[in-house]
Amino acid sequence: DQQVKQNSPSLSVQEGRISILNCDYTNSMFDYFLWYKKYPAEGPTFLISISSIKDKNEDGRFTVFLNKSAKHLSLHIVPSQPGDSAVYFCAASDHQLIWGAGTKLIIKP
C-alpha cells in the first residue's frame, strides 16, 4: 500500500514556463516532506522541504506548497530551465523516508 503517491510518471514543460509536480499521501502522521531531484546514475539531490506546520516554503525558483486537509503537496519550479530535466521524488518523513515513485520532468527548449 503506497503511502506516498506521485501519479504522473512524466511531465513535459516548455522552457521558461512553470513546472508543477504533484504528490499525495495517505498518512496524516507525516510531519515533514521533502523533494529530491535525481539525474540518471547519480544520487538524489535534496531540493526543498516543508514542515507540516507550514503551508508554503520557497527557495529561489522552487516553491513547495502543502495542503494538509487534502493530503497533497506540490513543487513549483519557475521559470523552468533545461537543467531541471530530471526525475523528481517526493518523500515523507515517518522516522524514515517514505518515497513516491517519482516523476520524470522534461523541459523542452
Partner 1 sequence: DTEVTQTPKHLVMGMTNKKSLKCEQHMGHRAMYWYKQKAKKPPELMFVYSYEKLSINESVPSRFSPECPNSSLLNLHLHALQPEDSALYLCASSDSQRPTQYFGPGTRLTVL
Beta strand pairing call for 56-59 and 62-67: antiparallel
Between 10 and 14, whose beta carbon lies closer to partner 1? 10
- Contact between 101 and partner 1 per CB under 8 A: yes
Q: How far apart are CA 92 and CA 72, in angstroms?
A: 11
Question: By CB under 8 A, is residue 23 in contact with partner 1?
Answer: no
Site for partner 1 in 27-56 (CB under 8 A): 32, 34, 36, 41-46, 49
The site for partner 1 (CB under 8 A) is made up of 32, 34, 36, 41-46, 49, 87, 89, 91, 93, 96-97, 99-102
